[in-house]
A and B are shown apart, each in its own frame.
Chain A
Amino acid sequence: MPLTRRKFLIAGLELGVAGSCLSPALAANRAVASSSGERSLVVLQLTGANDGLNTVVPHRQHEYQRARPTLALPASTLHRLDDDHGLHESAAGLAELYAEGALAIVHGVGCPDPDRSHFRSMAIWHSAQLDAAQAETGWVGRLADRIDRATETEMPSLHIGAEALPLAMRGRRWFAPTLRDPNGLQLTSLSTRHAECRASALERPHSEPASREELAFLREAARTSYATAERMQGLASRADSVAYPTHELARKLRLVARLLGGGFGTRVYYVTHDGYDTHARQAPAHAALLSELSGALHAFQRDLAAMGRDREVLVLVFSEFGRRVEENGSRGTDHGAGAPVFLVGSGVRGGMHGVAPDLSRLVDGDLRVDVDFRSIYAAIERHWFGVESHHGVAPMANLFA
């Protein structure tokens, strides 16, 4: 019985190994053409709770300067978004994208019943369940399961980073792999002769009856692994048409762009950017982080545009909660509630969405949560990917063009 690709995929799923590995992917010689018009999603998690209030600043509200005597950003330094809001001065790239209509800012997003613990709140965002204690799967993983079924893609999702696979990526059918090295998968060939012999070793007929099936399985595994690695190496080593910054987030997004542009086949990616938990001396650290974030996203968008794929890719930028309006005694901020979520891409309807922050109507000193985060997930599933959504919350309207 010939070993089908599906069997191999499922075989990969049986591995319960927590330390993640790349699951079997492409059939050896099949050119994986992700047909144009197939949409993709990149989830970019800002770990530590980004201070949304100093990112998208409602500078006209006097309460802002009063609550943040040292942290308030002067309006003159901000990039104008509209009459009432400006973007942190380090986010020049994002400001440019906003002006082009490629950045949608959704204000006041959070959990209906905010939890101030990093772990618990992140678990809620990942699992899209308000009681996340026993959650075993995440919304991205469940989405990847459904995308697979819908369009026969090889490796539905991929996590790039050194951290463990996030709960968000865990699905029921598909075991998302983690790629630690943003340069791609490592496959050493000592010489072309070696590579050739290696390939032909997979083809020669084998006589042992007992092991025929196991051998066939191994051969298929080897073939697809080599093909995946070579494909990824090929894509990752292509020359840059756009200059990316050198920091890690940019390198991860660069790899994603390469894979998307090269028709690698994967449609859902997950990357994280860490360091946003600024309890003390927030100003310089936050500036540095936003500069990295903005630079990386800007380069990413330009790269996709150069490849003609910018209309098909959506980046979701979120954090587990926002930060308190009043600064604390250490020139930093503590955990809060509502915060803005960004959606980046030419396919979004740029501009402001949700309810703009109102510093006169705080809840317990925190920004209100007016948008249930699950409505954004639902919008992505229903309107962006065109699959069903089961969050029990209506999808947010008008996010996409």
Chain B
Amino acid sequence: MDSCIARGPARGLFWACVVGILHATAPAAAPPTTTGERPLAALFPAHTAVFISMDGLADLLRAGDAHPAWKAFENSALGKVARPLLEERLDEGLSRLREYAGTDWRATFSALVEHGAALGIARSSEQPGWAMVLRSRDEATLEAARLKAFEALGKQVGMPKLRDLPPATVRGARVWQLGPDFALAVRGDHLVAGNVREYVDEIVANLANPGALGLLVEPALAEAWAEDGGAADMFVWADRERTTLYEQGESARGELEAQERAARDPSATLLLGPALGLTPAARSYSARLSFAEEDPRLTLRAHEVPIDAELLSRPAAASRLERSPADLLHATLHRDFAALLARRTTLFDPEHLAGMAKGISDLSLFFMGKDLVEEVLPAVSSGWTLVSRPIDWGVVARPQQELPAIAAMVDLANPDRDGPQFVAAFQSLVSILNVERAQQGEDAMVLELALEGSTQLSCAHFVTPPPGEPVDMRYNLAPAIARVGPTLVLATHSSLARQLVRELAGAAGRATTSSTGAESADDIALDELRLDGPGLARVIAANTDALVANAMLSEGKPEAVARQEFEVLRLISEFVQSARFDLRRAGTDTELRIELDLPSPALGAVR
């Protein structure tokens, strides 16, 4: 034993040197552990910064290529392109696994993680540390695997007797220190491994203590466990403060403050809404991914977001229109701009207020001096609908680069009284922009009134270019505004405005759809966004040449590389038939649920 240790390593691959630990005491037989029910989170110390658990790993490994999600991917156009690239990367890792675990590595590994696998990251003893816990099928399986791994490792570092290396005993677990940066512990059917000994020891201590709560003191984790008991295939949780300080400790405090400042950025709050805009100041975050069913679902949550309850007390937004197959994007957003701006002195930092005051004053110019915050914005409801569709060109000149149009719809509280002022504001805006363009020697937009059915639209567009002249990108912009009943429609292109006016007029009288999902005072639906993957893929395809040219010029990428990148992007968009983003507020938590609609797998589900 001693001679092994004294000789030291000859050559190491991972481990620079192998150091024996302390004294060789015969490992006491550890009492069998009663671990079946306890979540792995309970084993990790409460100061852990990031926690990842993959309970579905065993099934995933066993199913391997037969897993439906994988099958669907393989059969898709994206899979065919990406698979060879991935295999290259995977091959290296796989060969290493085979070295340590034998040819039937898959069976071995799935047995090792049969009852769970988790990874924790924490700053321990002033160093960034990680540790993983595997809960195996049983003690014997684990021991057999350990011996095999030690043998393989021993061969690599030139220490054939490594498998007989005596461990230290800590709280009933056997612990081996293999090098300064790697510790391995085994207790019953649990394997613990990590780079910082202290962190590993803490986990072992929790393991020995059946009453230990570990990370379950974090409400988010406890709740997640209670809710679905680990049904998620992958669960990730991170504490913001600890994660920020993970690498560099206290010297990264400034970055924490920067995150909090970012949360108070008015543009984030106004654009994304307070729920999303304030997430940089949440206390912790979690993500849940399940892919056992046909469609993968990813749920992201920001915990304890400091939102003022009053800002979100209004009912959820309701979409003005049914979704249409032509929609590239369809979103219903809850934005109470009036409330947000009315409270700006408390919500935002003083240094932003001066700029905002000027912005508000400038916008007031279009509304004939009316107070934007007190008079104009309250006239508008907080339920916004956004729709994006490709432009229906008809006879209008088609630009070289075609971009989709986007429109916003919102209801007015008092449409007959307030509608005209918005139309007038639109016209003022176009006129003022025209003056600026004229000063720069650029061409102006023509303002026109048009009729769609019985609805009047105010439209602005650039003068049609003479025949033979190329049509520039700015011709994608031909804004228009219209009012249908209580609904104000503002679009970047009049063709979309017309379509929506027709649809709204047809839908008049029909009840509007409400957002899905249960609602209570504590669970409020906020925003919903749906993206059409194939539609977006078509937009990318139509513009690939320009995007590639731009990448070549701005980043100096060779054409082939740029083309491949955009092709992969297009394929990913196509692969994701649709993506749905659902933003909800639950208590003080903000939850973003993402569901991806993938092509149906060729085979049935595994389970």
Contact = CB atoms under 8 A, between A and B. Distances in A.
State if A and B touch, Cβ cutoff 8 Å.
yes
Interface of A: 246-247, 275, 278-282, 284-285, 287-289, 291-292, 328-332
A279 B360 CA distance: 12
Contacts of A247: 351, 354
B85 interface: no
B36 interface: no
B95 to A, nearest CB: 41
A26 B350 CA distance: 39
10 contacts: A275-B358, A279-B365, A280-B364, A281-B360, A285-B361, A288-B353, A289-B354, A291-B354, A292-B354, A332-B369
Report which residue of B368, B369, B372 has the largest number of chain A beta carbons within 10 angstroms of its beta carbon. B369
B395 interface: no
B361 A281 contact: yes
B411 to A, nearest CB: 25
Interface in B345-392: 351, 353-354, 357-358, 360-362, 364-365, 368-369, 371-372
Contact of B365 (A275, A284, A330): A330
A291 B365 CA distance: 22
B354 A330 contact: no
A288 B353 CA distance: 8
A142 B368 CA distance: 43
Which of B361, B368, B369: most chain A Cβ within 10 A? B361
Contacts of B371: 281, 331
Contacts of B351: 246-247
Nearest to B361: A285
A285 B369 contact: no
B358 A330 contact: no
A332 B369 CA distance: 7
Nearest to A287: B357
B354 A280 contact: no
Contact of B357 (A285, A328, A330): A285
Given A247-B351, A288-B354, A291-B354, A330 B369 contact: yes
A278 B361 contact: yes
B368 A284 contact: no
Q: Which of A278, A284, A291, A328 has the most CB of B within 10 A?
A: A284
Contacts of A284: 357, 360-361
Contacts of B358: 275, 285, 288-289
Contacts of B361: 278, 280-282, 284-285, 332
Nearest to A328: B369
Contacts of B372: 281
Contacts of A282: 361
Contacts of A280: 361-362, 364-365, 368-369
B601 to A, nearest CB: 55
B368 A329 contact: yes
Given A282-B361, A288-B353, A329-B368, 20 more contacts: A279-B365, A280-B365, A281-B364, A281-B365, A281-B369, A281-B371, A284-B360, A284-B361, A285-B360, A287-B357, A288-B354, A289-B354, A289-B358, A292-B354, A328-B369, A330-B364, A331-B364, A331-B369, A331-B371, A332-B361
A278 B360 CA distance: 11
Given A247-B351, A281-B364, A329 B369 contact: yes
Counting chain B residues whose Cβ lies within 8 A of the other chain, the interface size class is 10 to 19
Contacts of A275: 358
A328 B368 CA distance: 10
Contacts of A291: 354
Contacts of A332: 361, 364-365, 369
Contacts of B368: 280, 329-330
A248 to B, nearest CB: 10
A331 B368 CA distance: 8
Nearest to A285: B361
A332 B358 CA distance: 13
Interface string B286-330: 000000000000000000000000000000000000000000000
Contacts of B357: 284-285, 287-288
Nearest to B368: A330
A279 B365 CA distance: 7
Nearest to A119: B439
A291 B372 CA distance: 22
A332 B360 CA distance: 13
A24 B354 CA distance: 37
Q: Of A246, A280, A289, A292, which is in contact with the most chain B CB atoms at under 10 Å from its CB?
A: A280
A284 B341 CA distance: 13
A288 B348 CA distance: 15
Q: Which 8 A-B pairs have the closest CB atoms?
A: A330-B369, A285-B361, A281-B364, A288-B354, A280-B365, A288-B357, A331-B369, A284-B357
Nearest to A332: B369
Nearest to A291: B354
B492 to A, nearest CB: 25
Nearest to A279: B365
B364 to A, nearest CB: 4
A331 B351 CA distance: 25
A288 B351 CA distance: 10
Contacts of B354: 247, 288-289, 291-292
A325 B590 CA distance: 51
A282 B358 CA distance: 9
Interface string B472-500: 00000000000000000000000000000
A208 to B, nearest CB: 34
A285 B358 CA distance: 5
A330 B371 CA distance: 9
A39 to B, nearest CB: 32
Contacts of A329: 368-369
A226 B109 CA distance: 62
Contacts of A285: 357-358, 360-361
A330 B414 CA distance: 22
A367 B589 CA distance: 58
B264 to A, nearest CB: 14
A297 to B, nearest CB: 15
Contacts of B360: 281, 284-285
Interface in B416-445: none
Nearest to B353: A288
Nearest to B364: A281
A92 to B, nearest CB: 15
A165 B89 CA distance: 55
A11 to B, nearest CB: 34
A291 B350 CA distance: 11
Contacts of A289: 354, 358
Contacts of B369: 280-281, 328-332
A123 to B, nearest CB: 15
A7 B450 CA distance: 67
A282 B357 CA distance: 10
A43 B554 CA distance: 40
B477 to A, nearest CB: 25
A281 B369 CA distance: 6
User: Which one of B360, B364, B372 has the greatest number of beta carbons of chain A within 10 Å?
Assistant: B364
Nearest to A70: B369
A281 B375 CA distance: 12
Nearest to A327: B369
A47 B369 CA distance: 21
A252 to B, nearest CB: 15
A281 B368 CA distance: 9
Contacts of A278: 361
B258 to A, nearest CB: 14
A93 to B, nearest CB: 15
A385 to B, nearest CB: 34
A275 B365 CA distance: 14
Contacts of B365: 279-281, 330, 332
Contacts of A331: 364, 369, 371
Nearest to A282: B361
A331 B367 CA distance: 11
B351 to A, nearest CB: 5
A330 B421 CA distance: 13
Q: Which of B351, B354, B360, B365 has the most C-beta atoms of chain A within 10 angstroms of its own C-beta?
A: B354
